[in-house]
Amino acid sequence: MSYEAHEYQKITQYQFDNCIKNDARDGGYTIYNGGNSGTLEIRANIFNIYVATLEYKFNPSNGTLYYELTNKSLLVQENQIWDGILRTVSSCGGVWSRRLR
């Protein structure tokens, strides 16, 4: 199954490290595996339920953050994942750029 990929802009290294990667809200939490690129696992706090896995790449030289959804639970809709990521990025000062697919 093919999922969406999104790009966000105007993000500094500080925002990425200290806000985006440390965010936990809306009854869930995130686990970033990697530095400026790697995988992101999203889990619900209730019973530690798996929600989704994404690949991410942050380019500090141009302030661009790319996410690609690679897998998700049947318990959540894809738009819920993207809405949560947008809320996190926006609250940290970044902006949505475009949907890549």
- Domain extent listing, the chain: 5-99
What pLDDT shows up at residue 16?
95
Reported as a single tens digit per residue, the pLDDT across 68-78 is 999 999 989 99
Reported as a single tens digit per residue, the pLDDT across 92-101 is 998 877 676 6
pTM (two decimals): 0.89
What pLDDT shows up at residue 25?
54
Reported as a single tens digit per residue, the pLDDT across 1-53 is 789 999 999 999 999 999 999 865 555 688 899 999 999 999 887 778 899 99
Torsion of CA 69, 72, 77, 78, to 10 degrees: 10
Are the C-beta atoms of residues 78 and 86 closer than 8 Å to each other?
no
What pLDDT shows up at residue 26?
52
Q: Three-state secondary structure along the chain?
A: CCCCEEEEECCCHHHHHHHHCCCCCCCEEEEEEECCEEEEEEEECHHHEEEEEEEEEEECCCCEEEEEEEEECCCCCHHHHHHHHHHHHHHCCCEEEEECC
